[in-house]
Amino acid sequence: MKSNAVVFVYLQEMVYIASVYGEWVIKDNLSWHFEVDYRKGGRMFSLRDGCTHDELIQMALEDYSLTKIGHRLEISYPLPEVFTQQTCNDSPPMFVTNDRQVESLIELSRNHGVRLCVSSKGKDEDNVDGPLDEDLDENLDDELKEEFDEELDEDWSAEREEVSEESGCDEDDVREKAYEGDDDTHADYSQYGKIKDEDVVIDVPFDDPRLLGRGVGHRIGIDNWEDNIYEHQSFDTKAQLISELRLTAVMTRFSFRIAASTRKVFVAKCKVAGCKWRLRAAVKNEPSTFWVTKYVKSHTCSVSDRVRNHKRCTTKYIGKLFLDRTGLIEGIVPQHIRDSMRRMFGMKLDYTASYRALKHAQDLVWGTAEEGYANLPSYLQRIKDANPGTVTDLVCDSQDRFKYCFLSLAGSISGFQYLRRVIVVDGTHLTGKYGGALLVAAGQDANFQIFPLAFAVVDAEDSESWEWFFNKLRDCFRQFPPMAIVSDRAAAIARAIGIVMPWASRGICYYHLQGNIVKDFHAKEIMYMVKGAAYAHTVPEYDRYMDLIRAANPALATYLETSDPKLWSRVHFEGDRYNIKTSNIAESINSAVKKAKGLPIPRLLEFIREKLGRWFSKRREDALSLTTRHSRGVEYILAIRSYYAGSMIVDRIDAWRFHVKGGRRDCNVDLENRTCSCGVYNVEKIPCSHVIAAAAEANVDMSYYVCATHSTPSLFSTYAHPIYPKEGTDSHVKPVRCLPPGESVPSGRPKKSRWQTWLEMSRKKNTKPRKTHKKYSCSKCKEPGHTRPNCVAED
């Protein structure tokens, strides 16, 4: 029976629970003992007054990724020492089975140290594909086993992707998991700080009632269809008349031809020669109103003739018909169009026709790509007028063809002054008619949440466009040095930073470096060493991992040393990079706007503005509700580290310097200069357990040593500036000509996603990666790296 031991720490009005995974065993002396499973890592719960038993059970299920099916939780706790002195040593844990006992547990924890144990009887889903606990210890190096004692201060991740990328690999990834598998790396701090329902992904089911049309509860067939056209009926425009006539033709399965169509007369006849079905309408009274003057609704032709002459509807009409019946529902795909038209009108559409109908419906609602470029100048001006302080720019060539556009909202510019000075940049390709690329710059707020800074749409992701983008960034944020910029390894980005922002420190994404190493050196089995060197907090630790890499793969060690460790190693980085080790912040924004990347540019920018408006509103409300000194994420980290600091021994050296014993290493803490020899506090600017223990010994509040950007006032100030929608109309804006780019439009359906590497697929799907290509060797010289036709060896 697996269980989870947790210790209560009462802070303000909440009871915080630090949790580790393991199992209860009974020793020979009949005493109960809890053995920790280091692979599972740590968790932190929080209980409020009035917490119910069901809520406590739900916390355990969610935090340990368990399901109610196949898992039966038993919550218990051992009696405090003051009680055990009066009872036998074989007293079992006290079980919590209802709300009353939860209330007793909370009250007991206020005056006594209580350890809560959450026992799970059932299969642990996290270990389905992974090695057994016994096998893990056999695969670990002795040095890495020691790191399990206190990895809490070693590393923590603020990106969801970084946490999830440690799962789903095969047996070769066990060593890498050893580096990450401790008390703190299994906790996803970005998820802890994330606001519930901040950004809900809309997934429209195929049986959604909205797809049946407004007021339609079942399929409309020819047997229950009612013809709504009659004599002396009026239509405001000729287009409305033709639309109703087309719907009648669709439902009664015939085709008509337009015999006459002028500004004042419209005549339609059945396509079968000799049939007396006809409709005549003419203008009366109002200049644009058409009145039906004659309508013969009965067909005199044969059914077989009507079927033979019946033609399929155009995709443009299908798109318009779908809009008239259902409207444009957010999140629909071509399959929804196909199912909806089959159920409403009995139409049989293939995927291509459904895709084109959906595209035409979107064009009717959002406008075409050409209309988007024409309306872009007025949109940027209206957004700027509604949000004073917003920076926009539109660049066209000598022929007034679109080249670049830039948008940084006033709320983003104002909020950046309260963030840590780290900007992550990335680019993604657009999938619209004229292609292009979307460039993104983002930061991270006090609660480890993504904070978008600026966006740009460019014709191509090249050196010229990146240089222009960084020039605009410099104009928006030049008043906030020093600054660090994290990106992928693109040469165009490195060149642009060197030209535009030579004073900024540049770092590269570890994840991209990892992909290149696996691809070029086939060194997946020692990637945990590379990650250890990249994430090291001290130079000796970095050197230790580099020695291991050099012994295992000298070529890889040489490659890493020549790749400039200042770019990828956290300990050698020139400046403050904090916990930001990858470009996942910008990548996440690219993923968030994925469904809008094929829209016209004004609609794409409006989609981004609406999303930022929702983020700012919800996060501002969340910051106002906080009663703590720091954000939720930081309070969570401090609670965990305080728990481990409580077991450390502190020796005072002088008034401000201490020697802290405990955990994986003994460290020297200098409170005056804000340093710790473990390196964690020096990098993250959040007190490690050693600093917390030293501060407690010195009777100094630990909050004094937390970076000011993590405070609750800073979090609220970050989102204090609201984001307003565009105001006015296009008629109030001075017209500026902007034409689509001159590049030819590629044929075929635009691709929405790029091909993913095996590493990305395995991290994302939580499954084993597909097999890598076979390493061929020459059958002639027996050397790897080439085949016989390319062999240069002499005969």
Residues 662-672: pLDDT tens digits? 878 899 999 99
Query: What per-residue confidence (pLDDT) applies to 85?
Result: 63
* One domain, residues 482 and 605: yes
* One domain, residues 570 and 595: no
* One domain, residues 19 and 51: yes
Query: What per-residue confidence (pLDDT) applies to 411?
Result: 93
pLDDT, tens digit (0-9, with 9 covering 90-100), for 266-308: 999 999 988 999 999 999 877 889 999 999 988 999 988 888 8
d(CA 315, CA 358): 8
Choosing from 696, 719, 742, the residue where a domain stops is 719
Question: pLDDT band at residue 364, thresholds of 50, 70 and 90?
Answer: confident
- Number of domains, the chain: 5
- How many helices (DSSP H) and strands (DSSP E) are in the chain? 29, 23
Say which residue, 606 or 514, is predicted with more confidence.
606
Q: Examine residue 47 and state whether it is found in any structural domain, yes or no.
A: yes
Q: Examine residue 554 and state whether it is found in any structural domain, yes or no.
A: yes
Q: Checking DSSP bridges between strand 290-296 and strand 234-235, what pairing results, if any?
A: antiparallel
* One domain, residues 568 and 586: no
Q: Examine residue 2 and state whether it is found in any structural domain, yes or no.
A: no
* Amino acid letter, residue 34: F
* pLDDT, the chain, mean: 78
Q: Is the pLDDT of residue 216 over 50?
A: no
d(CA 392, CA 384): 7
d(CA 677, CA 668): 5
Lowest mean pLDDT among 109-118, 120-129, 147-156, 628-637: 147-156
Q: Is the pLDDT of residue 531 over 80?
A: yes
Question: pLDDT band at residue 13, thresholds of 50, 70 and 90?
Answer: low
Q: Examine residue 725 and state whether it is found in any structural domain, yes or no.
A: no
Lowest mean pLDDT among 58-62, 532-536, 579-583, 703-707: 58-62
DSSP-assigned letter for residue 389: T
Handedness of CA 495, 498, 500, 504 (dihedral sign): positive
Count of beta carbons in the 10 Å neighbourhood of residue 646: 16
**Rounded alpha-carbon distances, angstroms, from residue 180 to 414, 523, 641:** 36, 18, 17
Choosing from 323, 349, 366, the residue where a domain stops is 366
Say which residue, 330 or 626, is predicted with more confidence.
626
Question: pLDDT band at residue 623, thresholds of 50, 70 and 90?
Answer: very high
> Can you give the CATH number for the domain in which 76 is found?
3.10.20.90
d(CA 302, CA 307): 9
The domain of 552 spans 510-574
d(CA 89, CA 30): 7
* One domain, residues 461 and 546: no
Choosing from 719, 746, 765, the residue where a domain stops is 719
Say which residue, 201 or 171, is predicted with more confidence.
201
Question: pLDDT band at residue 410, thresholds of 50, 70 and 90?
Answer: very high
**Rounded alpha-carbon distances, angstroms, from residue 577 to 217, 265, 479:** 58, 73, 19
* One domain, residues 241 and 359: yes
DSSP assignments along 709-746, one per residue:
GGBHHHHHHHT-S--PPP-S-GGGS-----BPPSSPPP
Sheet holding 675-676, edge to edge: 649-652, 657-661, 667-670, 675-676
Q: Examine residue 770 and state whether it is found in any structural domain, yes or no.
A: no
**Rounded alpha-carbon distances, angstroms, from residue 559 to 176, 513, 525, 549, 550:** 20, 11, 17, 11, 10
Q: Examine residue 541 and state whether it is found in any structural domain, yes or no.
A: yes
pLDDT, tens digit (0-9, with 9 covering 90-100), for 554-567: 999 999 998 889 99
Q: Is the peptide bond before 740 cis (omega within 30 degrees of 0)?
A: no
Question: pLDDT band at residue 217, thresholds of 50, 70 and 90?
Answer: very low
Q: Examine residue 471 and state whether it is found in any structural domain, yes or no.
A: yes
Q: In the chain, helix, strand, coil percent, each to 5?
A: 40, 20, 40
* One domain, residues 431 and 457: yes
* One domain, residues 307 and 352: yes
Helices (H), 194-333: 238-252, 303-309, 315-326
Q: Examine residue 168 and state whether it is found in any structural domain, yes or no.
A: no
b/e per residue 241-275 (b: at least 16 CB within 10 A): bbbbbbbbbbbeebbbeeeeeeeeebbbbbbbeeb
Assess contact for 741 and 436: CB atoms under 8 A: yes
H or E element that contains 189: helix 189-193
Question: pLDDT band at residue 726, thresholds of 50, 70 and 90?
Answer: confident
Query: What per-residue confidence (pLDDT) applies to 742?
Result: 76
Q: Is the pLDDT of residue 469 over 90?
A: yes
DSSP assignments along 660-678, one per residue:
EE-TTS-EEEETTTTEETT
Q: Is the pLDDT of residue 793 over 60?
A: yes
Contacts 24+ apart (CB under 8 A), 268-274: 270/299, 270/301, 270/306, 271/309, 272/299, 272/301, 272/302, 272/305, 272/306, 272/309, 274/300, 274/301
pLDDT, tens digit (0-9, with 9 covering 90-100), for 189-200: 444 444 444 555
SS3 category, 465: helix
* One domain, residues 504 and 514: no
Cross-strand bridge partners of residue 44? 18
Q: Is the pLDDT of residue 657 over 70?
A: yes
* One domain, residues 346 and 246: yes
Rounded mean pLDDT, 24-42: 67
Rounded mean pLDDT, 98-114: 78
DSSP assignments along 33-102, one per residue:
EEEE-TTT-EEEEEE-TT--HHHHHHHHHHHTT--STTEEEEEEEPPPHHHHTTS-TTPPPEEE-SHHHH
* One domain, residues 540 and 421: no
Q: Is the pLDDT of residue 163 over 50?
A: no
* One domain, residues 560 and 590: no
Query: What per-residue confidence (pLDDT) applies to 746?
Result: 60
